[in-house]
A = this chain, B = another copy of it.
């Protein structure tokens, strides 16, 4: 490659100072219109590439926002991400993605990288066990943080997520309304706020209906399609097996339905299955999956919006913004019908 073109290259060529060139390229009204056009033209034809590292070193703004979630291949996060991406794109922020796979050291490495790169902000769905101190470390170093999907107590920042307890109680109530009293819950873990809250919703709905909680009907763990599939065997082995199941997520429900079908049980006919999240696939699945809309796009949009407000100088405050979930009844939970 030829000699690199920088501001001073353009300045020399046109007999101007780098200050003028710098201002012109950023459309400053301080520079005369004609000068500005000459400069821009020269930048274009000479193949000038703006060096953001240099600019960022000077201004301490990088135009980078880090986003860190458990796993972007999970459509639940994918849908949130799309909405964040949309929002940030419009504000010309570059968006750097990372999976932490609930590995604290991986998340911490990403955080350190963002600090080193001088990122402007961070949106994260914190890994299991994230200490509040990690978030304060970011905040203390001028890196505003917004949390999504999960909460960290004492972090001092805002979290956006669905009201998981309420949402799960809606599904369970729906199954009770359909005449079920033997309802299992599959998936999720005590280690995340999401897991705890959804189990709480399950228990509360049962209790409200006077149905005792039965630990053998609570299969913890699964959080993916594959583990939902594997859980089918475990579920089928339960003596005195329930005829209705709520799952921690749509992914778990979809995997479970694959597993049940393979064992010869027909979801939506022989057994009621519900999910959680209302990912895109839920509506076209076979059978179409009853679930709870968890407001992914709203979570993403509002979290990004809140971060942008922080970037504009607003101070941090610890708060929890709950998005109200909505029940979506489909065929997987309605054993009566078979048509439609």
Contact = CB atoms under 8 A, between A and B. Distances in A.
B258 A51 contact: no
A257 B62 CA distance: 46
Given A72-B72, A73-B73, A142-B1, A226 B53 contact: no
Contacts of A258: 284-286
A65 to B, nearest CB: 11
Interface in A67-121: 72-73, 75, 78-79, 81-82, 85, 94-99, 112-113, 115-118
Nearest to A115: B49
Interface of A: 1, 49-54, 56-57, 62, 72-73, 75, 78-79, 81-82, 85, 94-99, 112-113, 115-118, 140-142, 225-226, 229, 255, 257-259, 261-262, 280-281, 284-286
Given A1-B140, A140-B1, A142-B1, A117 B52 contact: yes
A49 B75 CA distance: 34
Given A52-B117, A78-B72, A141-B49, A262 B280 contact: no
A50 to B, nearest CB: 5
Contacts of A284: 225-226, 229, 255, 258-259, 262
Contact of A261 (B75, B82, B286): B286
A79 to B, nearest CB: 8
B99 A96 contact: no
A265 to B, nearest CB: 11
A141 B226 contact: no
B53 A117 contact: yes
Contact of A225 (B49, B62, B262, B281): B281
A116 B285 CA distance: 44
Contacts of A73: 72-73, 75, 78-79, 81-82
A116 B51 contact: yes
B280 A226 contact: yes
A180 B62 CA distance: 59
A177 to B, nearest CB: 25
A328 B49 CA distance: 48
A92 to B, nearest CB: 9
Nearest to A224: B280
A81 B78 CA distance: 14
A118 B53 contact: yes
Nearest to A95: B98
5 contacts: A51-B118, A53-B53, A72-B97, A226-B284, A229-B284
A313 to B, nearest CB: 14
A98 B64 CA distance: 13
A134 to B, nearest CB: 13
Nearest to A92: B109
Contacts of A96: 94, 96-97
